[in-house]
Amino acid sequence: MRKDFNNMLTTQDANARYESFQHLIKASNEKTDWAYEVWDELIANTQAPNNHLRTLAVQLLSNLAKSDVEQRLLTAIDKLVAVTRDEKFVTARQSLLSLWKVGIAYKPLQQIVTDKLEARYNECETEKNYTLIRFDIITVIKRIFDHVQDEGLKKQSFAMINREANEKYKIKYAAVWKDVLKGDKFRKAPKGK
């Protein structure tokens, strides 16, 4: 693991870096006993000058969230969410899409993650690609819901969707929930459901 981790952080070869990252992701698909051996370095790399390292750090931390028995993410979540505002859109998007894994790690973190995602949803309207950011946020909250079945998440998500002024995007965002709504028409997102 350490060899792959060091390679992911130091190699200039993008293919070798990605291969090492994939090994680490695969190794962390289940709870690990090595999460804290790399934790501080990953947290530091959420602010690395290299955008690839920033997103790899967020994605690997998200995968390691299930191994966070000390609940360190409660105090580090802002560093992960900050990367969802990255100047490189692909970095921001990949980081954002991985946050569902953080949201299912343990209950206290779930509400923090979804509240931060809601704040991100509310503030992104002035950004380029804000409709895609909003779609991704709704998708992440839905993925959390799929794992924890917390009806409050559905209510929170639809409250966000209902704040969308553009009917076209409101329908698109609500469609993320189509399997839960079982064939409802998406002309208007249901209030408080």
pLDDT in tens, 74-86: 999 999 999 999 9
pLDDT at position 50 is 93
- The position carrying tokens 């992440």 is 140
pLDDT at 9: 86
- Residue 102: partners with Cβ closer than 8 Å, 6 or more residues away: 61, 62, 65, 73, 77, 80, 109, 113
Model confidence at 123: pLDDT above 80? yes
pLDDT score, position 189: 46
The alpha carbon of residue 141 and the mean position of all alpha carbons in its chain are separated, in whole angstroms, by 9
Average pLDDT over residues 40-65: 96
Interatomic CA distance for residues 155 and 149, integer angstroms: 12
Query: Which band of pLDDT confidence, cut at 50, 70 and 90, is reported for residue 187?
Result: very low
- Interatomic CA distance for residues 100 and 40, integer angstroms: 21
- Residue 18 · residue 12 · CB < 8 Å: no
pLDDT band at 192 (very low <50, low <70, confident <90, very high): very low
Residue 23 has pLDDT above 80, yes or no: yes
Q: What are the chain's domains?
A: 2-181 (1.25.10.10)
For 64-93, what is the HEC assignment?
A: HHHHCCCCCHHHHHHHHHHHHHCCCHHHHH
3-state secondary structure of 13: coil
Contact by Cβ (8 Å): 157, 177: yes
Contact call for residues 164 and 121 (beta carbons, < 8 A): no
Measure CA 100 to chain center. 5
Round the average pLDDT of the chain to a whole number and report it.
Answer: 92
pLDDT at residue 186 in the model = 43
Give percent above pLDDT 70 in the chain: 94
pTM for the full model? Answer: 0.90
Q: What is the pLDDT of residue 193?
A: 43
**DSSP secondary structure, 96-115, as one string:** HHHTHHHHTT-HHHHHHHHH
